[in-house]
Amino acid sequence: MKRRKFLKAAGAGVASTGLAGILATHRAPVFAQANTVHILRWNDFVPAADKVLREVFAPEVQKALGLKLNVETVNANDIPARATSAIQSGSGPDIIMLLNNLPHLYSSAAVDVSNLAGEIGKAGGGIYAPATQLNTVGGKWVSLPWSLVPALIAYRKSWFDEVGVKTFPKTWTEYHDCGKKLKAAKHPIGQTLGNTFGDAPTFTYPLLWSFGGQEVDPKGKVVLDSKETVESLRFMTQFWKDAHDEGGLAWDDSNNNRAFLSGDISASLNGASIYVAALNGADKFKTEKGAPLHTDILHAPLPAGPKGAHAYHTAFNHMVMKYSKNAKGATEFLTWAHKKENYEKWFVVQKGFATGPTREWENHAMWNQDPVMLPFKTAPQAQSRLMGFAGQPDKKAAEAWNKYVVTVMYAQACSGKMKPEEACKWAAGELGKIYT
């Protein structure tokens, strides 16, 4: 081939796939098409699960759907800020993982995934009712429930035995008495009351409910300022002083894990990440007698108050963003990821830290492997209330949670900054500004 002929042929080739080609066909060349799906998630407290996404899901979805999966993980506390900036700028991740009722806050930026939610529910024996409330706005599914991280109290069996408590306390009063003895024995209870997304609200909301307090009535009128709420604050203030590690006021969601694993605290409301870390690091984490720490950990639900026992488990949902240039690819990925054979690969490495979005996952063989994890299996069924109770878990409830109103109310009373009555009034005032 002569030089002139070669250049001509090459030029034609470039034109057909290059700028001229793009302009003529009004389509990007194949290699530049939006083939990538960018998913933003939290830094999983079970790091093996993020590894599955990157090292198993990514190559498999590339093979199955031709999609390049780009997994980005950040601190869960930073996700709302990322979502806001992505939505306002109209660019960012194609899928954003949103906690609890945040889908309500960002619903206007969501792709309708009702069809897919229907398929997932049908295939899995039904999506849990709370998950339906968290992910639907006006009857439309704005996001898909991915998992639920049940919050149960992880505690040191031997230390509870030492103070004469053979079975985990059933009521707050019993837990208070037990905690007093534990703190006296230099094994305080560890609980965060900091401005953080998970362990703090999963403790404070159920505590409020178990004393009969609630944020609003069914019509959305703020009713937080009540004798029940004040009673719960009085109880917690004394409980804090008598039984807790008071450093918890400055803890985030990871401090209690570190404190528990290092033997500084005897009990903490948590997902199963403490136990899973102890299990995976059996050589590293030991009791003072030299036994693997995980052999001394058990789990129990939050105790009951005068108005019963309650629980709040953190929900993890995926929203396909409306601004995404590859919303189709993002939906295809989620469809693929929710297929039983694929989801299972992620589910099993969680070892029970996260439960599935449907009842089907309660029957998985994984639950037979470790009896210590069994309380997590059916924990989602115990969740009957959501943030914003007795109203809806809507965007106002999400705003209140995002501003840590209920948690700060307890923190203010426990730190002595406010009297229980003042903290209650303050929080009711804050809610009043939100529910106007």
Which sign, positive or negative, has the C-alpha torsion 111, 117, 120, 122?
negative
Structure tokens at 256: 């209690």
CB of 289 to other proteins, least distance (A): 22
**What is the H or E stretch that residue 412 is in?**
helix 405-414
Please name the residue ranges forming H helices in 217-322. Answer: 227-243, 255-261, 273-280
Is residue 194 close enough to count as binding other proteins by CB under 8 A? yes
Is residue 229 close enough to count as binding other proteins by CB under 8 A? no
Q: Which residues pair with 76 in a beta bridge?
A: none
CB of 80 to other proteins, least distance (A): 5
Structure tokens at 33: 């098409």
- 149 vs 319, which CB is nearer to other proteins? 319
- 262 vs 384, which CB is nearer to other proteins? 262
Q: Which residues pair with 426 in a beta bridge?
A: none
Of positions 88, 91, 115, 369, contacts other proteins by CB under 8 A: 88
CB of 48 to other proteins, least distance (A): 25
Question: Distance of CA 55 to CAs 15, 49, 197, 346, 355, Å?
Answer: 37, 10, 28, 11, 21
Q: Which residue has the tokens 């979805």?
A: 61
Is residue 108 close enough to count as binding other proteins by CB under 8 A? yes
**What is the H or E stretch that residue 76 is in?**
none
Of positions 262, 363, 368, 384, contacts other proteins by CB under 8 A: 262
Contact at 8 Å (CB) between 190 and 259?
A: yes
CB of 18 to other proteins, least distance (A): 31
- 81 vs 123, which CB is nearer to other proteins? 81
Is residue 250 close enough to count as binding other proteins by CB under 8 A? yes
The angle, 0 to 180 degrees and rounded to 10, between the axes of the packed helices 227-243 and 420-434 is 120
- 344 vs 422, which CB is nearer to other proteins? 422
Which sign, positive or negative, has the C-alpha torsion 38, 40, 41, 43?
positive
Is residue 81 close enough to count as binding other proteins by CB under 8 A? yes
3-state SS of 164-193? CCCCCCCEHHHHHHHHHHHHHCCCCECCCC
Query: Which one of the spans 83-91, 301-309, 357-365, 368-376 is the region binding other proteins (CB under 8 A)?
Result: 83-91
CB of 261 to other proteins, least distance (A): 11
Cis link prior to 390 (omega < 30° from 0)?
Answer: yes
Is residue 77 close enough to count as binding other proteins by CB under 8 A? yes
Is residue 185 close enough to count as binding other proteins by CB under 8 A? no
Is residue 241 close enough to count as binding other proteins by CB under 8 A? no
CB of 195 to other proteins, least distance (A): 4
Binding string to other proteins for residues 400 to 419, with x set by CB under 8 A, is what? --xxx---x--xx--x-x--
Of positions 100, 135, 196, 331, contacts other proteins by CB under 8 A: 196
- 85 vs 369, which CB is nearer to other proteins? 85
Report d(CA 256, CA 242) in Å as an integer.
18
Structure tokens at 66: 């031709």
CB of 65 to other proteins, least distance (A): 28
Is residue 245 close enough to count as binding other proteins by CB under 8 A? yes
Is residue 107 close enough to count as binding other proteins by CB under 8 A? yes
Is residue 144 close enough to count as binding other proteins by CB under 8 A? no
Q: Which of 41, 7, 31, 111 is nearest to 346 (CA)?
A: 41
Size of the site for other proteins (CB under 8 A): 43
Q: Which of 346, 361, 353 is nearest to 49 (CA)?
A: 346
Residues making contact with other proteins (CB under 8 A): 77, 80-81, 83-85, 87-88, 105-109, 193-196, 245-252, 255, 258-259, 262, 264, 399, 402-404, 408, 411-412, 415, 417, 426, 429-430, 433
